[in-house]
């Protein structure tokens, strides 16, 4: 039954593809919130793994001043007995169990659920208003957090640049390139990053990224993230996109979509880049 469930899910996923669709496993974001002093955040990524059609949930804790993990992540996934009842991850025991596991750390770091500050950018992968836009975009966004009706105060500009590293993906994390076709023989167009290798004989290079914030009013640019060797925990990262941006007090949190190769196109996981930008 489990094998049938996986094969059926894979078939339905391929059958639903449109031109240049992103068919892989992409995580959803639930921003839990900031601590009252803004020093820490917690967020959840959740979804359904394409490889086994099993719902999962992982909660991360970040130190916003150091732009680094504040505590080990906690995670859970659906059990075999739950797969038929909870065939998606939006309302699942896995998410509830992960949140229970996160409770002690949330209390220790004084993170308040719902204390998310102001959301100034939201570009989820589900937004297909403009079908011509690549799922690997946006890599640059502009926002005006103090906009009120006709008044427009200083603008903020975020810019992301994916940077190739002198590193290669582990063989187990770099699936073979496969071309899928419809029964008519027509190729199914599955979106893949332009940074993806083009031949199975090649080794896939890893990518990191630069992320900078330019503030008009202050006439300055802040480097939030500098490209460096990609950590092993990020997997076979080949591309990145800006997904959401939140501001709270003097802190900014930018949620980044991380693309890794999958057997049905690229998968997407989430990470947060944080920094201090001044009074807001």
- Provide the residue ranges of all domains of the chain, joining segments of one domain with +: 2-276
Concatenate the DSSP letters of all residues of 15-76 into one string. Answer: HT--TTB--S-B-EEEEEEEBTTSSEEEEEEEEEETTTTEEEEEEEEEETTTTEEEEEEEEE
Rounded to 5°, the CA angle 43-26-257 comes to 60
In angstroms, rounded to a whole number, what is the distance separating the alpha carbons of residues 190 and 136? Answer: 13
Distances (CA, A) of 221 to 10, 215, 244, 278: 45, 6, 19, 12
Q: What is the pTM (predicted TM-score) of this model?
A: 0.87
Which single residue is written with the structure tokens 């997997």?
235
Cα(256)–Cα(16) distance, rounded to whole angstroms? 26
**Residue from 238, 240, 241, 257 nearest 177 by CA:** 238
pLDDT tens sequence for the chain (280 residues):
444 444 444 444 444 444 445 556 889 999 999 999 999 999 999 998 877 778 899 999 999 999 999 999 999 998 888 877 765 657 789 999 999 999 999 999 999 999 999 999 999 988 888 888 899 999 999 998 876 555 556 789 999 999 999 999 999 999 888 877 888 888 877 778 899 999 999 999 999 999 999 998 888 999 999 999 999 999 999 999 999 999 999 999 999 999 999 877 889 999 999 999 875 5
Please give the Cα distance from 49 to 65 (Å, whole number).
Answer: 32
Q: Which of 160, 120, 162 is nearest to 140 (CA)?
A: 160
| Chain centroid to CA 103 | 23
* Interatomic CA distance for residues 196 and 191, integer angstroms: 10
């Amino acid at each position: 039954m489990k094998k049938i469930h996986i094969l059926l899910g894979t078939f339905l996923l391929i059958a639903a593809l449109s031109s240049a669709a992103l068919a892989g496993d992409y995580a959803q974001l639930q921003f839990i919130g900031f601590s009252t002093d803004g020093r820490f955040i917690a967020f959840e990524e959740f979804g359904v793994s394409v490889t086994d059609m099993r719902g999962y949930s992982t909660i991360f804790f970040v130190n916003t001043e150091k732009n680094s993990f504040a505590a080990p992540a906690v995670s859970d996934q659906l059990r075999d007995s739950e797969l038929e009842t909870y065939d998606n991850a939006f309302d699942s025991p896995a998410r509830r169990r992960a949140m229970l596991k996160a409770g002690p750390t949330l209390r220790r770091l004084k993170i308040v659920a719902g204390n998310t500050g102001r959301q100034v950018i939201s570009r989820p992968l589900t937004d297909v208003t403009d079908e011509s836009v690549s799922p690997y975009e946006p890599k640059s966004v502009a926002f005006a957090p103090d906009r009120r009706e006709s008044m427009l105060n200083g603008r903020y500009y975020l810019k992301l640049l994916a940077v190739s590293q002198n590193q290669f993906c582990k063989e187990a994390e770099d699936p073979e390139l496969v071309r899928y076709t419809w029964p008519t023989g027509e190729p199914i167009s599955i979106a893949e990053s332009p940074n993806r290798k083009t031949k199975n004989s090649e080794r896939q290079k890893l990518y990191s990224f630069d992320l900078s914030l330019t503030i008009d009013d202050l006439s300055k640019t802040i480097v939030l993230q500098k490209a460096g060797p990609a950590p092993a925990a990020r997997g076979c990262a080949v591309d990145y996109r800006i997904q959401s941006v939140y501001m709270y007090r003097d802190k900014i949190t930018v949620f980044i979509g991380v693309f890794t190769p999958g057997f049905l196109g690229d998968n997407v996981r989430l990470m947060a880049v944080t920094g201090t930008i001044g009074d807001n």
